[in-house]
Amino acid sequence: MGENPAKNHYAQLNQGEENEMEIFGYKTQGCRKALCIAGYFLSCGALLLLFYWKPEWDVWANCIRCSLEEADVVLLRTTDEFRIYSRKTVTWISVSALIQSRLNYPATAVEDSIFSKAIMKPSLQVKSIQVQRIRYVWNIYAKQFQKVGALEDHHTCSAIHAKFGSGLTCNEWNVRKVICGPNTIDVPVIPIWKLLIKEVLNPFYVFQLFSVCLWFAEDYMEYATAIIIMSLLSIFLTVYDLRQQSVKLHRLVESHNNIMVTVCRNKEGDSCFQELESHHLVPGDMLVLKEGKTLLPCDAILISGQCIVNESMLTGESIPVTKTHLPQADNFKPWRMHCAEDYKKHVLFCGTEVIQTKADDTGVVKAVVLRTGFNTAKGDLMRSILYPKPMNFKLYRDALRFLMCLIAFAAIGMIYTVCVFALNGEEAGEVVKKSLDVITIAVPPALPAALTTGIIYTQRRLKKKGIFCISPQRINMCGQLNLICFDKTGTLTEDGLDLWGLLPCERNCFQDIHSFPADHSLPWGPVFRAMAVCHSLIVWEGKIQGDPLDVKMFEATNWVIDDSSGHQIEGQGSTHATVVRPGPKASSAPVEGVAILHQFPFSSALQRMSVIAQEIGGEQQVFTKGAPEMVAMLCRAETVPLNFESKLLLYTAQGFRVIGLACKSLQAGKQSTDLTREEVESDLTFLGLLIMENRLKRETKPVLEELSAARIRSVMVTGDNIQTAVTVAKNAGMISPTNRVILVEANKIPGSFSASITWKPLEKNKPEDYRGLDDSPPTTERRIGLALASGQYHFAMSGKSYQIVAQHFRHLLPKLLLNGTVFARMSPGQKSSLVEEFQKLDYFVGMCGDGANDCGALKVAHAGISLSEQEASVASPFTSRTPSIACVPELIREGRAALVTSFCMFKYMALYSTIQYLGVLLLYWQLNAFGNYQFLFQDLAITTVIGVTMSFTGAYPKLVPYRPPSQLISPPLLLSVVLNILFSLSMQVFGFVVVQEQPWYSKTDIHSACLSVNNHVENSSSISSLGLRGMRDGAHGQTDNGYKSYENTTVWLLSTINCLIVALVFSKGRPFRQPIYTNYVFILVLIGQLGVCLFLVFADIDDLYSKMDLVCTPTTWRISMVIMLAVTLAASFLVEEAVIENRPLWLLLKKTFRYHSKSHYKRLQRVLEQDSAWPPLNETFFSDSVAISVEGSMGGHSNPTFDSNEDTL
């Protein structure tokens, strides 16, 4: 039954967000509910179990459709490809007790607030639902469910100051508290009984329970007990693991769930301070931040003063961040739009630590509570762990199809069984048991457990190598990775920067370069002052802390920070200013010190930071530093050297990180706090370039070479300058020296809705790249042409260009991504979006980064590998203990080995169950079957042991230039399974038929072949009596001897050793796993099992034979069986090696039948190879259509409440 969105019955929840859902309204109907309850009892709970697995069926059966307004039950459906349903009950929150004395409350409260729009009159109740820990209330006027627990986005800067600046009244606070719920990120430790029930109700365990009940009914006690023990062990291990994760998450958040905070209350126009526990906070509350360290229990907007915060929980970098107060801008733009991408500079995030507060003239540091509970940045991080995005991997889809095929296979067997036994007049109960038994034989109950063991072993191997995994299902995905995105700073290059040189500028000319470390110190002047004050450093725990770039720059001056409180600065009143003074090693300076009066923190959107500073006893000056191109634009043109661009190119092309410096003097008498950023950062004087060196990590180049040799694409995604990024890519080996780099620049055309895009070849700056004077332009052009024709070119683009291409040139984006290698100046949202765009081209994308600026991309990628062990990286599926990209090939190797192991396991399990199934059906023809111990030996001694040990084989150390297949339903794999089934069928049928043709064969006398045995008469009675106690007494008539027959002995021995043959043949070694002989345990197990089987073939021990339901056969027949097995082994091995594993043969077949990969990127490659006009060099295209709005998609799957921007200076 599907959903047809009807009027008011359907709506969308969280439209445009990562957790977007469709919501449908339903009303419970009494008679339907009664019928369902009757159904639960009549089906012995089976219907209830079905509804547990399928909540949508539960709602459709119990309820009728209605509008969302009338609904008492809602059905939610995710909008992704999985379309997962969930059921939620609507609850009512009563606020009548709070506002009965003031019925006019909604009118006096903030009119445009969701709180006033949600209260229904006259009942004074609020209708709500809770989805993924977030509460939504019904907005009476908008007729939709809306999120509560966050301040509305429409407030302007001035409105926030005016409405919330003096705090909420007690009445407003009470109502908000009841509607929003407590401000806690409560991750309770899930009780063990709940985890147990949830695990036991898994469809796989329910099927096992069905199998076990059937086996007990047939007295097949031993294997049933073994399966129960294995299942219980598996359940307890899973429950233990889930419990550990639950405890870990609980500990992660409990520290800041109950902190004492000071809030400001508005009592009849007067403000008063009140201490309360943080779980009582509501959006709109006014927090007062005291001096000293404070852990933040919510997200809040700073409205007065300044804070220094440690955001390592969110960014993974222990760099103190300066937060400034929200300006009192009097305009109609919502506060977030007014502050643009800089809004985070005013927001204090939950879970971060306030290290230092600096009050302004009001004397207190105040912040308005923005979000509470799971709506906060920390809450969002927790929700991403509690509700991970489901994965779509062909292997898992194919696994279900594979099981469906086995069930269909079993259904055929059931029909055959019913026909054979019913026609022979068997009792109805026995016929049912026999036919149900076929299902448990054809569908192996041990399959999921066997697949899980392979993943567990791989996880253990990764752990030994320092790689931790929180999402084991993704290990198989790592085997398919064919594109890896790398962050640059701290991932490919060293974390720290070294100061390499300073290129000062005077009177619009560059002076001689000053190298570091130098014998002589820097001379006093504007450049020196800029280096001493243009930073956001603080003294924390006796050490200078801050951005590594700022630290290196400041240390070069040999000055020190005097961070004692309250300095009296002329004309500024008393203010808490940071003062820098000459240190003991500093060269003489004509000043006592310089005070930093005001900071405009670094913004990745603006690519710069500024400070207003004042020499003690001197004038005020502005100092700015940032991306050189950006700083030069803010400077007066006459102060910028004419050769600025060529000098910048010279250093960035060598891989240096270059920072521009500028300054200007301020008019006397102006308060620094009254100036806007635009006023401060204009008409500057250019001071010069600061050149920093960012060295490659030692292991970067060999790892990238290894990936390149394995045909795995490497892409750089960084916040750094594009030239620096291209040079690092070249030095690291991402871009070969012979390959051409094409810069793609996209710009919006001012005053119109269109945009332009240009392709420019990046000029080579290194002297060795020029071929001398005789290399005429046509030759150069020809060389470029050759490089392009052979596909040896790489695109480089900035985040700005990427965004414009995504908006205006959507059709060109896939073509650009196909050869895009360097993406510079990328924001966190753009990183996530880029990963998703690569995935749309059917790439399997890995992302390797070291901070929360990569957090969104790490979550979205098929395999996100975090090199930071900070809390921010908790959402990343993989975390490496060693901060080096050497973990990437290691993970791919293990992923490939795990994927191949999964395929081997599938093939083996399919063959084992089919071999047993064919054997049983053959014997059913004679109303016979395998005996109790025969089943037990095959199921337990052979298959279970093989299933556990087959996965021990480790990964092959070399990455080959192709990947293992990603589909179970692929021609080689299907052919392998089908051919081996045919070999098994042929051998068993041949044995079954030929044994009946033997001269010694007798249908009635099972001892006719071994009449020479002396104690024949003696044993015959005991044997038949033992046989009669068999679990499945199917044989009848005068020779009622249980299962004993020549056919049974022949078929069972052939099928048992056949299981060993397929285990050996399917245990692949190279190229993805180590050779099979390195798996000593597995080899020893196989040898041991083969020894026991051959012993059973040739031994003639009556007690053993009677126990195993075997009969004595002549030695010649035993040798014949061994020959049959040897022929099967040879045929199976030959087919596997010469056909199935013959890669050149399959490539030839593909070529012959013109089979081409269906992957989007492969199809695009083929199209572009035929397109001589691509790439269009030195050409400009214009968009002729209105831009597509990609605001939602640009966010990718980044944390919506927090996007840390990498320092993109």
Active-site amino acid positions: 487
- 49: burial class by Cβ within 10 Å (0-12, 13-18, 19+)? middle
CA–CA separation, 1032 and 913 (whole Å): 19
Q: Give the span between the Cα atoms of 678 and 229, in whole angstroms.
A: 72
Q: Containing H/E element for 287?
A: strand 286-289
Question: What letters, b where the CB count within 10 A reaches 16 and e where it falls short, cover 343-354?
Answer: bbbbbbbbbbbb
Q: How far apart are CA 553 and CA 497, in angstroms?
A: 10
Q: Give the Cα separation of 1116 and 1155 in Å (integer).
A: 50
Q: Is the dihedral of CA 1042, 1046, 1049, 1055 positive or negative?
A: negative
| DSSP line for 117-177 | HH-BTTTTEEEEEEETTEEEEEETTTTEEEE-SB--TT-BHHHHHHHHTT-B-HHHHHHHH
Quick one: tokens of 1130?
């040879």
Q: What are phi and psi of 765, to 5 degrees?
A: -105, -15
| 3-class SS letters over 339-373 | HHHHHHHHEECCCCEEEEEECCCCCCEEEEEEECH
The one-letter amino acid code at 827 reads: S
What is the secondary structure of 708-754 as a DSSP string?
HHTT-EEEEE-SS-HHHHHHHHHHHTSS-TTSEEEEEEEEEPTTSS-
Strand partners, 308: 322, 356
Instruction: Report the alpha-carbon angle 1154-1157-1162, nearest 5.
Output: 115
Residue 67 φ then ψ, to 5°: -75, 155
In DSSP terms, 368 is beta-bridged to 286, 301
Determine how many CB atoms are found less than 10 A away from the CB of residue 569.
Answer: 18
- Report yes or no: 583 and 559 within 8 Å, Cβ to Cβ: yes
Two tokens at 444?
Answer: 């192996």
Residue of 80, 69, 177, 191 lying closest to 129 (CA atoms): 69
Strand 567-569 relative to strand 306-310: parallel, antiparallel, unpaired?
A: unpaired
Q: C-alpha distances in angstroms, 30 versus 64, 424, 458, 1106?
A: 10, 50, 52, 62
Q: Are 473 and 455 in contact (CB under 8 A)?
A: yes
φ/ψ of 922, rounded to 5, equals: -60, -45
Q: Which two three-digit tokens encode residue 42?
A: 């009549």
Omega within 30 of 0 (cis) for the link into 641: no
**DSSP bridge pairs for 621:** 613, 665
| Cβ(739)–Cβ(845) below 8 Å | no
Phi then psi for residue 570, to 5 deg, are: -55, 130
Sheet with strand 260-267: strands edge to edge = 270-277, 260-267, 286-289, 365-371, 299-304, 347-348
Residue 122, preceding bond cis, omega within 30 degrees?
yes
